[in-house]
Every structure is written in structure tokens, then in C-alpha cells.
Amino acid sequence: MKFKIALAVALIAVAVIAYNNLRMPNHDTMPMTAAASGAPMVEVKLPVLTGNEILGETAYNAKCASCHGTNAAGKEGDGPPLIHKIYEPSHHGDFAIQSAIENGASGHHWPFGNMAPVEGLTQGEIKNIIEYIRALQRGNGIQ
């Protein structure tokens, strides 16, 4: 009987740890900066941008940077960094980013709350924003 209780407690502990690791990112994987409100959350190496990536940067700066920070580095107190392993293409594909922009998204990985839909973007601008984010991610080892 004691073994079954100990096993149940161990399984619950593993489940809680796994849930917390899925729910909250492992900040040890990215260099963190000052925690002041509005401060960037990660350091971002800037790659050379071309074509649609440059257009995406312009659209991103106009519509996304107020929450996700300059160069998608996140903003303490406002929004998460998109330069993070959580947003790698195998976990959050391009369609997930497009859907978040168009429809909003639940805040299930970070403590910032839900993301509202972004108004006033064309499909082409959304595509370019995604290309910009992916270029930044590749330049920072997220693929």
C-alpha cells in the first residue's frame, strides 16, 4: 500500500513538473537581460535581411514591436520574445503565427495573458512578418 502511495505521489510530481515545463519556457536556454518593465527579454543577433524579410521588419515594427519588442526580443511586462525555442517552426509553424496574428492566441506559454488579433494587416504583410521572424530565428540558432 505504501508503495502505491509513493508511486502515485511520484507520478503526480512528474506530471506537475512536465506541465510547468510545457507551460512556462525554460529561460535558461536564452540569455536574459534586465527585468525592468519594457526591457528586452532576450539578446538578439541581427542577421542580414533581404527582400520580403525587410518588408516584414517594417510591418512588424508597425504592428508587433509594441508587445513583442524590437527585433522580436520580447518586452518585460508586455509580450514574449519570438526569438525563443517555443516558437521554432517545428513547434509553432507558420500557420500558427498567421492564426495568432489574425485571430489572437491564448497565453498558454507565458504569463502575459492572451494575444488579441492584430488589425489592419494584409495577407502579404502577414507573410512578410513571418519571413522576418523566421530570419531572426535562423540568425539566432532557432530552426
CA distance 106 to 51: 31
Residue type at position 134: R
User: For 84-139, what is each residue's pLDDT tens digit?
Assistant: 999 999 999 999 999 999 999 998 889 999 999 999 999 999 999 999 999 999 99
CA distance 8 to 63: 48
User: Mind listing the domains of the chain with CATH numbers?
Assistant: 2-139 (1.10.760.10)
Q: In this model, does residue 31 exceed pLDDT 70?
A: no
Query: In the chain, which ranges are continuous DSSP H helix?
Result: 2-23, 51-63, 65-68, 94-103, 123-139
